[in-house]
Structure 1
Amino acid sequence: MKRQKRITARPHKRTRLSKRSGALILTALAACGGTAIIAAQALAGPGGPGAGGTDASAGGGAGTVAGRTISCPDVGQRLRSLPPAAAPEVNRDLGQLDAQVAQAFRRWSADPGTQDQVLRGLEKDRKATIGRITDALRRAGERPDALDRLSACRTTTGNATTARNAPRDARGGNSAGNGPFRDDFVDIKTVRPNTRGNGQGGRGTASGSFRSECGRNENRHNNPDNLIVAPGVSNGAHHMHDYVGNLATSAFSSDRELAGAGTTCGNGDRSTYYWPVLRLRDNGRERDADAPGGGQDGNVGTILRPAAVSLKFDGNGADKVTAMPPFLRNLTGDAKALTNGPANANASWSCTGFENRQLKNKYPICPRGSNVVRSLAFPNCWDGRNIDSANHRTHVVFPDGNGRCRNGFRAIPRLVQRLTYAVPPNAQYAVDSFPDQLHNPVTDHGDFINAMPQRLMRTAVDCINSGRDCR
């Protein structure tokens, strides 16, 4: 199947935040659940999860204003279409816009007093890059809106509770911190039940399911790329991803390469499944401690491999499902929901044994013996034509409240990624994020590229539509 000739674009806004506090106190090594961790405490904050988000290896300056970020207009969302001839250049320039914000954010984080100077320099750099985007679109026959109006940026509070509960330094102001913060965590036992089961169960006519068993990323396939959102851009995600399934996935993978690659899935499924890694904020030096997507982008600590990974396709809708086309791109959640708002924030957090209590914007503190759970349910109404759209959302959307797809869309198998982690009790942890997103749990997200052999896809569809549970 050929890709559509024109697709609607979406931006990739990435910034940088890092920090170092002279008041950082390393507490004693604690053996929790069989895992030795180092807890970091801020000067004025008590210990435990979210106690200031400080980390000795994060770099940066003690003057950072915690909970604040640089907010820039989302250029990609203003593009009505992205002609294939212009796509490589536009994608590179969108990535350059992200790099410019990251550099500006790094400077401002080290010295908040430079805010006005940093913003003026950033606006100048963005104006030049946006000009190149405009020229590329015009050469491809487009008539872009006045994109030059989108060059100015501002500083803003990403989250009111984050800023309010950030640790205080000796001068009375907010100390440095790239998250997570105290109010990003909640004891799951204090949360009232708000859904049945895990909140992700299927319903409707197609009541069966199909599972791919693809492991837990035992081979440590990690990179900070994003083949869907930032194709051809190295470190396009500015945070590290876990991958299972296709072994060839990087920012530069072609569909042909994906089709011929090996896979970790036991049934021959070559699809690409990926999500941001989860880390203990323990001062542990991972192999990416000094690398892009890792320590250079404020993502620090020991990467946790999931204790279990479930990749389940079901029929969460009123109609029977039809096959997904080869190389369909699909995503769920919003990696920038802290600054974009919660409209597309779809991932949820819970604990095993408590999955009738789902959290959207908090990390759960689980009791001893209970694992942290991330649930990522994907949209499953396809427009029947396109394998991608430049905002990566309009070609596959969620059904309505009755489980029905809108006119012109058809139901396809719904993917639910369920990830569990054996987080040591009272350990600080966080999902990797774009630097400006402060490791907030609302930014969790997942990605999928369909590369199932057609016979396997037909099996999945038959199992779902006939009410059978297959593996």
Structure 2
Amino acid sequence: MGNERRLLTLVVCLVLGSGLIAAVLGASRAAGPHAGAGAAAGPAAGDYVDIRDVPRAPAAAPAGPDTSAGSVAVACGRNEQGHYNEDNLVVSPGLRAGAHHTHAYVGNLSTDAMSTDASLDAAATSCTGGDRSTYYWPVLRRLDRQGTRPHEGAAGHGNQGEILPEASVLVEFRGSPAGKVVPMPRFLRGMTGDAVAFTAGSDADVRARWGCSGSPDRATTHYPRCPAGDRVTRTLVFPSCWNGLDTASAGHRSHLRFPGAGGLCPQDTFAVPELRISLSYEVPSGVAVALDSFPEQRHSPRTDHGMFVNAMTDRQMAAVVACLNEGRDCRM
């Protein structure tokens, strides 16, 4: 009788063990090529591409009459002040370390999770023209060096390595190819990209484009391998069709939407200045890079994203709109 019980116990253990192994293997397969290294896994080899293998983009159509073909460059530096934190005022206001990864900032020097419209309006700024808006994005890291400075380990969640400083930052507003633009309201919140694109099952909200400084006509959603001497580039284009009512919304996407074909805004929305943030980095040849991300996103380049809060004065925003609608190229 004892032998029969021991045999039955052995059979049950074998069955349960086989099921557990199958479940683990199934989960690993479902996770795809990024799986297998815990929170620090990724990026995968398939996340990188030689820029020479990326097709050239077609030339943009010329602007027609009665459009807003101007541009405004806002000089805000390249985060020489070392403004980093793990907060996200747009997505997680009031929650310290709510981003779970590190953001870099230009513009408003006070921005953190506890910022309010009033505190932003009273703070100093890195923008030489006095724009107190805040512009921010996840940091890019080089994986061949361990980070030792503040914020290089504070985010945790598998975000490791030395933070690459931006070699250049261009904050720029552009007009609409479909008509004139109207002013953004003060303290409008905006977001571009999808921080959970790796697990989202869709690239519908993937917006950031990567490239190399020597190939401005090639853009990709992969990390680019650039020729020696080129900088790695990131371009973050924000939605520019405002619903005319709200400065924020649940999910952060319904109050400010992207234009459709030909730059036409969806019904019941109004074209406002289109924000573009262009970043570049000096990446040594052969060095792998990774974007800060949530651990389950495996540092996928498709998860790149950016946020802003418009804290320009009404006078500053009016000057931006006038420049765009008159087709001029301006600086502030």
Q: TM-score over 0.5 for the alignment?
A: yes
Alignment of 1:65-464 (within 5 A): 160=32, 162-163=33-34, 174=36, 178-196=41-59, 203=63, 205-288=67-150, 291-293=153-155, 296-340=156-200, 341-360=202-221, 362-464=222-324
Q: Residue by residue, what CA displacement relative to the aligned partner does 1:264-313 show, whole Å, maximum 9, x if unpaired? A: 001000000000011101232232478541xx211111111111111110
Give aligned-pair identity as a percent: 46
* Amino acid across the alignment from 1:253: S
Q: Residue by residue, what CA displacement relative to the aligned partner does 1:140-180 show, whole Å, maximum 9, x if unpaired? A: xxxxxxxxxxxxxx9576764x34xx7xxxxxxx5555111
State the alpha-carbon separation in 1 of the partners of residues 132 and 37 from structure 2. Answer: 46
SS for the counterpart of 1:268 is coil
- Partners of 2:188 and 2:247 within 8 A in 1: yes
- Partners of 1:203 and 1:315 within 8 A in 2: no
State the alpha-carbon separation in 2 of the partners of residues 239 and 114 from structure 1. Answer: 32
Structure of higher RCO (CA pairs closer than 8 Å, 6+ residues apart): 2
Q: Any stretches of 5+ residues in structure 2 without a counterpart?
A: 1-19
State the alpha-carbon separation in 1 of the partners of residues 31 and 329 from structure 2. Answer: 42
Q: Residue by residue, what CA displacement relative to the aligned partner does 1:371-430 show, whole Å, maximum 9, x if unpaired? A: 101011111000000000011000000111021112211000000111011111110111
Q: Residue by residue, what CA displacement relative to the aligned partner does 1:82-139 show, whole Å, maximum 9, x if unpaired? A: xxxxxxxxxxxxxxxxxxxxxxxxxxxxxxx79989xxxxxxxxxxxxxxxxxxxxxx
SS for the counterpart of 2:262 is coil
Structure 1 residues 457 and 391: alpha-carbon distance in aligned structure 2, compared to 1, 3 A threshold? same
SS for the counterpart of 2:204 is helix
- Partners of 2:152 and 2:163 within 8 A in 1: no
State the alpha-carbon separation in 1 of the partners of residues 99 and 29 from structure 2. Answer: 22
- Partners of 2:153 and 2:159 within 8 A in 1: no
Q: What is the deviation of 1:194?
A: 2.9
Q: What is the deviation of 1:219?
A: 0.7
Structure 1 residues 422 and 462: alpha-carbon distance in aligned structure 2, compared to 1, 3 A threshold? same
User: TM-score, normalized by length of structure 2?
Assistant: 0.87
Q: Residue by residue, what CA displacement relative to the aligned partner does 1:315-357 show, whole Å, maximum 9, x if unpaired? A: 1330200000000000100011111121101101010121211
SS for the counterpart of 1:391 is helix
Q: What is the deviation of 1:192?
A: 2.0
Structure 1 residues 447 and 158: alpha-carbon distance in aligned structure 2, compared to 1, 3 A threshold? farther
State the alpha-carbon separation in 2 of the partners of residues 452 and 209 from structure 1. Answer: 16
Q: Any stretches of 5+ residues in structure 1 without a counterpart?
A: 1-112, 118-153, 167-173
* Amino acid across the alignment from 1:188: I
Q: Residue by residue, what CA displacement relative to the aligned partner does 1:28-51 show, whole Å, maximum 9, x if unpaired? A: xxxxxxxxxxxxxxxxxxxxxxxx
State the alpha-carbon separation in 1 of the partners of residues 30 and 182 from structure 2. Answer: 40
* Amino acid across the alignment from 2:236: L
SS for the counterpart of 1:297 is coil
State the alpha-carbon separation in 2 of the partners of residues 250 and 211 from structure 1. Answer: 24
SS for the counterpart of 1:211 is strand
Q: Residue by residue, what CA displacement relative to the aligned partner does 1:231-280 show, whole Å, maximum 9, x if unpaired? A: 11111111100000001100110110000000000100000000001110
State the alpha-carbon separation in 2 of the partners of residues 290 and 402 from structure 1. Answer: 42
* Amino acid across the alignment from 2:292: D
